[in-house]
Amino acid sequence: MSRSTGRDVVVTGIGLVSCAGEGIEAHLSAFASKEAPRTDAETFAPYPVHPVVALTLDAQISKKSDQRQMEPWQRLGVYAAGLALDSAGVKGDAAFKAALQLVVAAGGGERDYAVDGAILSGLRGAADPGAFLNERLLNDLRPTLFLAQLSNLLAGNISIVHGVTGASRTFMGEESCGVDALRIAHARVASGQIDTIMVGSSYNAERPDVMVIHEMGGFLDKPVYRPVFERREDNGGFVLGSAAAFLVLEAAEHASARGARALARLMPVANDRVARAPGSVSASLTRLIGEAGIERPDVVLSGATGLADLAAEEIAGIHAALPGAGIRATGDIVGHPMEVAAPFGAALAAALCAVGAAREVAVTSVGHRRGEGVVRVLAA
């Protein structure tokens, strides 16, 4: 639920990475073009995916040793966090980063497919499968590999690489944890507990294991990309996208005192977790939009997954609260990046406000299994 809080919270830094490119301009261009996002329909056929653009990792992660010890999703997140610090003008400000707290929304890490494959193959012919499995787990899973799969290592790597040494928190829980990360980050600054915080998430969609997991649940769309709100056949589904999004948030007076430009204002975040039943999502979103205080948004950035039944309820809930509002699916820009969906929507909304393309933007998130959220972003 949202809460009325004291201080204004402004966005002073934005870091974005996805199939659309890197940085604010690339994503504003993708939003304006309305062309189909960059899609790979071959690597994981029959499941299309939106792959991240090639990054020059040295630009944000200078040490090769740091790059090697991270899994791809962590490299994406550390890269985007560096872009956000650059955007806020604090990349070289050690004092600012020492006080900067961090909230990350993360998944469960990534697998070492070579090790998994060797273990599964060996189990077939093992005389004692239990003993074989124990031996392989002890010998094949290096401590560094295991640590690289922990969810809170994204925050740890951001701290190591960029010198962000304030307290950190990591939330898990698919799309809803991205909403909660924004909610908590905003509330801590607005309440006066802290002056600065960085919030965001990253997701690597280019992995066979996530294709298997989500196809088992019947959640993936195939065999080619279709716009999110046109996926009606067989209830549609989502096309996963690799992406990362981070925002630097500050109390307005803190940003003003250091001469930083406020790109946008982030308002209290409204969230819910309804029992999924016909009409429940629609009713929840209508109520959350009211709680968030959204009045006349220039655009609603919808994090709709592409599941047709949920998309229909989301549209109905939005139109009930905001008749005639224009809705744009962020999945048609970067695909569905799970935990990153809400932070990406908030970051893109802030970017639209920063360039004068919008004065008020609503961001919605409806998780593919659970969790609803609404974020209101205003021009500074």
3-state helix, strand, coil split of the chain in percent (to 5) is 45, 20, 35
Residue 2 has a pLDDT of 41
Averaged in consecutive runs of 10 residues, what is the pLDDT profile of the chain (380 residues)?
70 98 98 94 97 97 93 95 98 97 89 78 92 86 56 92 96 95 98 98 94 94 96 95 98 98 98 95 97 96 97 97 97 98 98 98 97 98
Among 173, 167, 203, smallest CA distance to 271 is for 173
DSSP 40-57: B-STTTTS-BBPPPP--G
**CB 12, CB 251: distance < 8 Å:** no
The token duo for 227 is: 């716009």
Peptide bond into 223 cis (omega under 30): yes
Strands 270-272 and 21-22: unpaired
Strands 299-302 and 360-366: parallel
**CB 238, CB 175: distance < 8 Å:** no
Other beta carbons within 10 Å of 326: 10
Strands 327-329 and 299-302: parallel
Look at phi and psi of residue 371 and say left if phi exceeds 0, alpha if psi is from -120 to 50, else beta: left
The token duo for 310 is: 């949920």
SS3 355: coil
At residue 96, φ and ψ (nearest 5 deg) are -60, -45
Rg (CA), the chain: 20
**CB 264, CB 11: distance < 8 Å:** yes
On the 0-12 / 13-18 / 19+ scale of CB atoms within 10 A, 343 is: buried
Residue 141 has a pLDDT of 67
Residue written as token pair 């933007």: 361
The number of helix segments (H) and strand segments (E) in the chain equals 15, 12
**CB 306, CB 47: distance < 8 Å:** no
Residue 5 has a pLDDT of 54
pTM of the model: 0.92
Question: From residue 47, how far is each of 215, 220, 239 by CA, in Å?
Answer: 9, 7, 8
The neighbouring-strand residues paired with 40 are: 49
**CB 293, CB 305: distance < 8 Å:** no
Residue 1 has a pLDDT of 40
The token duo for 157 is: 């790597």
The token duo for 91 is: 């990349």
Cα(43)–Cα(288) distance, integer angstroms: 39
Provide the residue count of the chain. 380
- AA identity, residue 60: Q
Cα(355)–Cα(339) distance, integer angstroms: 26
Cα(271)–Cα(269) distance, integer angstroms: 7
**CB 353, CB 327: distance < 8 Å:** no
Question: From residue 74, how far is each of 24, 57, 197 by CA, in Å?
Answer: 20, 12, 19
Residue 4 has a pLDDT of 47
Residue 138 has a pLDDT of 81
105-142 burial, b if ≥16 CB within 10 A, otherwise e?
Answer: bbbebbbbeeeeeebeeeeeeeeeeeeeeeebeeeeee
The token duo for 253 is: 């007076």
Cα(292)–Cα(96) distance, integer angstroms: 30
